[in-house]
Amino acid sequence: MIFPVYTSSRTMRISGSSLMRHSLPFTCFANRRQDVAGVPVHHPAVGCIKEYIDEHYAEPVRLETLGRIAGLSPFHLQRIFRESEGQSPNEYLQDVRIRKAAELLDCDTPIVEAALMTGFYDQSHFTNVFRKATGTTPRKYRRKRKILQERP
């Protein structure tokens, strides 16, 4: 089947299979790349990178290192990761760190230790990132969790 494609200066005609192939990168829902059936498309390297980040979140993680692990250039890796996950590798790393830090705070780990154990440079940096991600400071988060746990 032939579909007309309108551009600002002319109309092009392309076949259906060509249309699908060329429009696939632009078929997004919530910043995630999807195939024709609407199922998110995952590059094999993305799973490998997520696994690496999940295991090494407490260490400094550089985009160049992730690129070497995936066998891709850092820029290509960042692009396919964002298309697949809807966020950059760095944003995913911060999400993992915040999630792990929240688990530590739930176990009454001191805030400064939770910050250092999850890869943040200091308590101030951790507090700023935690507040931005959760809408509350680590101390207020801990207090709210304790109150909720004490309720019958």
Express each pLDDT in 59-81 by its tens digit: 999 999 999 999 999 999 999 99
Q: What span, in angstroms and rounded, lies between the C-alpha atoms of 27 and 34?
A: 6
Q: What span, in angstroms and rounded, lies between the C-alpha atoms of 94 and 110?
A: 19
Residue 8 scores a pLDDT above 60? no
Beta bridge partners of 12: 5
Token duo for residue 27: 């078929």
∠ at Cα 52 (93, 37), nearest 5°? 80
Listed by start position, the domains of the chain span 1-41, 96-150
User: Considering only the top CATH level, what class is 96-150?
Assistant: mainly alpha
Express each pLDDT in 116-148 by its tens digit: 999 999 999 999 999 999 999 999 999 998 888
Query: Among residues 104, 136, 107, which one has the least CA distance to residue 119?
Result: 104
Q: What span, in angstroms and rounded, lies between the C-alpha atoms of 41 and 21?
A: 13
Under 8 Å between Cβ of 119 and 54 = no
Report the pLDDT value the prediction gives residue 6, as an integer from 0 to 100. Answer: 39
Express each pLDDT in 100-118 by its tens digit: 999 999 999 999 999 999 9
Q: What span, in angstroms and rounded, lies between the C-alpha atoms of 56 and 86?
A: 21
